[in-house]
Amino acid sequence: MPEDCIFCKILAGEIPAAKVHETENTLAFEDINPKAPVHVLVIPRKHIPTINDLAREDGALVGEMMLAAREVARLKGVDRSGYRIIFNTNREAGQEVFHIHLHVLGGHPLGPMG
Ligand code: 5GP
Ligand code: ZN
Whichever domain contains 59, its CATH number is: 3.30.428.10
Q: What is the pLDDT of residues 21-36, one digit of tens each?
A: 999 999 999 999 999 9
Q: For residue 24, what are the contacts with CB-CB under 8 A and spacing of at least 6?
A: 45
Residue 111 lies in a domain: no
Residue 114 lies in a domain: no
Domain that holds residue 94: 6-106
H helices, E strands: number in the chain: 2, 5
Give the chain's domain count: 1
Residue 112 lies in a domain: no
Closest-lying ligand to the alpha carbon of 28? Answer: 1
Q: What is the pLDDT of residues 69-106, one digit of tens each?
A: 999 999 999 999 999 999 999 999 999 999 999 999 99
pLDDT at 2 (0 to 100):
79
Average pLDDT, the chain: 97
> How far apart are alpha carbons 29 and 91 in whole angstroms?
23
Residues in contact with ligand 1 (CB, 6 Å cut-off): 6, 15, 17, 29-33, 41, 88, 94-97
Evaluate if residue 61 carries a pLDDT over 80: yes
Residue 35 lies in a domain: yes
Asked about 101 being catalytic, the answer comes back as yes
